[in-house]
Amino acid sequence: MIERDVVGGAAHLWDCIPSKTMIATGGAISYSERIEGMGLADVTTAVDNDGLTNRVEAIKDRMSADTTQLLASQGVEIVRGTARFTGPHSVAVDTAIGTREINFDAALIATGSRPRIPDWCHPDGDRILTTRDCYPPRQFPESITVVGSGVTGVEFVHMFASFGADVTLVVSRQQVLPGKDPDAAAILENDFLGRGVRLLKGARATAIERVTNDDGHDIVRVSCDDGRVVETTHAVLAIGSVPNTDMLDLAAAGVECDDGGYIPINHHCVTNQPHIYAAGDISGKLPLSSVASVQGRKVAEHVMGLHTVEHRHLDYDKAASAIFTEPEIADVGLAEAEAFAMGRKIRVTKVPFATTPKALINNDPRGFVKIVSDPATGVVLGGSIVGQHAAELISVIALAVTANLTVTDIVESLLVHPALAEALAQAAE
């Protein structure tokens, strides 16, 4: 395995795990704000910057060390350096002690992605931030503008709002989370507005720059295409990512890319070269670490010839995903709007968490469970959940979608009482 940085991947080291660690701390702050309604006196919280930084770094280090140890236990050789292809069966690795040539029978390309930075923005890691400059930032912002209202953007809005910053979100369309369930987006928008988040809908950022305002303070100015301007102490750019394929010299191996730099693959994760595979963000599939992990397993099965026995292809349409805002949002399978666009007949049932005793016990009745099923057969086609522990609860619907279970299978499952999962059974009835 050739690694130019730290073993573990972007999700563990720079994106998913660090951000969720900070979000968990923010969630604890938010929970403390609801504690009075649970029969306890109000609790005040203060962020320990150094403590939070140490916590993020400790978790990152632990994850990387565990992965490195696991690889070593399996006899994997780790070569520290940067690789580029020199032919269909060879790579050159630039290491600290020189260049090393490695020949291979098969290769897996899993170089991930990096934040997309447009020409009109020049992040400095201090006030103008990419998503990877925020775990945690050098200083917690007094105010911040988040550019990008997709999954990553709304998680940053939630995180910084939880830590007490005045947050502005630039929304290029008329809904946060475009492409997601409008009911889920509406609940999230209401939560943002309730916490004082300013939403600039229908605005696209065209410039982000550091300036000195009339009071002599160093600020960040975000200009939008409709003339609106936002001035805050910080700004974070969250407008997607680009694949790390530009430095690999793929042409030397005969591996093809599309116009976006992604490597097309088939259902075995094979590129146009039968002995070279691609997985993770660079494959152009769902940019989820869970998907990349399963892709890795499929590659291992194929390269060892195990795909010739009982084998299930990876169905990306059945991948569960979650957004770690407050409330959490999770979905899987066929979406309601997607089904209507296809003209497909579906049955949609929706149950608010407010009808479950556990939500009232938790003093958090926000959100709902929605299940999409086939009206003729009862087979579960998809679903979405908004509320506490949505990322955990969606696993039930994901299993149903993957295994072609019916709503009756869910209804007749003997679930725990009281539990938020009871809403799943109610929605399946």
Q: What superfamily in CATH does domain 128-239 come from?
A: FAD/NAD(P)-binding domain (3.50.50.60)
CB 224 within 8 A of CB 231: no
Over residues 154-187, the pLDDT tens digits come to 999 999 999 899 999 999 999 999 989 999 999 9
424 pLDDT above the threshold of 80: yes
Q: Tell me the domain boundaries of the chain.
A: 2-114+242-308, 128-239, 327-428
Over residues 335-367, the pLDDT tens digits come to 998 999 899 999 999 999 999 999 999 889 999
Residue of 217, 267, 313, 417 with catalytic role: 417
What would the mean pLDDT of 230-244 be, rounded to a whole number?
A: 96
* Confidence at residue 418, expressed as pLDDT on a 0 to 100 scale: 96
Count Cβ neighbours within 10 Å for each residue of 326-361 and write b for 16 or more, e otherwise. Answer: bbbbbbbbbbbebbeeeeeebebebbbbeebebbee
pLDDT band at 46 (very low <50, low <70, confident <90, very high): confident
Residue 285 corresponds to which amino acid? K
CATH class belonging to 327-428: alpha beta
CA distance 304 to 299: 8
Over residues 273-306, the pLDDT tens digits come to 999 999 999 999 999 989 999 999 999 999 999 8
CA distance 396 to 389: 12
Over residues 180-189, the pLDDT tens digits come to 999 999 999 9
What SS3 class is residue 301? Answer: helix
- Name beta bridge partners: 237: 130, 147
Q: Are both 2-114+242-308 and 327-428 of the same fold?
A: no
CA distance 372 to 340: 11
Strand order in the sheet with 328-333: 321-323, 328-333, 380-387, 368-373, 347-352
For the domain spanning 2-114+242-308, the CATH number is 3.50.50.60
Is there a catalytic annotation at residue 268?
A: no
- Name beta bridge partners: 380: 373
